Chains A and B, each alone.
Chain A
């Protein structure tokens, strides 16, 4: 099974900051990785598909990159509404798997 190692597990940042989350896959997964945002009591929402493709309606301050085993998710100019937990997920090789999540908090 593929392990998705996501870091950091938590992050404290200020409005306007640039934040970066990484996911490392234990095997090559091409660019079959998604990034989700989850707010308390809500279902995850897909933000970025295929490592770098922004979903319709998602603000352009969100971005993703990477290929193979190393992936990055970035929020440029953090906004208060971005406070949430973020998860990566690989969907290249079954069983599909999630990272452990990054809880983003306001400093």
Chain B
């Protein structure tokens, strides 16, 4: 059974760095074809695809966030970390991580974590 869960600070000050950790179970991030994707959703708005890290460390980002966004493997084998620098209140939203399999897309999602950017 695949599960994912996001964790991290729920309040971040403007200009600081937002860091969210995705801890997962039920799959190996080194399995060929597997990836972990990140998606966010401002309150009451649509889903926005942020980026993706594949089993071979290949990483892809949304062009609109590429200069501020980094997705890396965590210190544990079952973790992936999202970092967004120089945040602004418009970065407020629920951040989700999800299991990605090449032919299926994002099939299992974490519960999400609401992160507010405010002074």
Contact = CB atoms under 8 A, between A and B. Distances in A.
Given A50-B103, A95-B60, A43 B49 contact: no
Contacts of A99: 46
A95 B111 CA distance: 23
Interface size range of chain B in the complex: 20 to 34
B104 A50 contact: yes
Interface in A37-54: 38, 42-46, 49-50
Contacts of B61: 95
Nearest to A49: B104
A1 B104 contact: no
Given A43-B96, A97-B49, A101-B46, A1 B63 contact: yes
A43 B47 contact: no
Interface string B37-71: 10100000011110110000000111100000000
Nearest to B107: A46
A12 B27 CA distance: 39
A67 interface: no
B105 A32 contact: yes
A89 B109 contact: no
B111 to A, nearest CB: 6
B112 interface: yes
B105 A49 contact: yes
B33 to A, nearest CB: 13
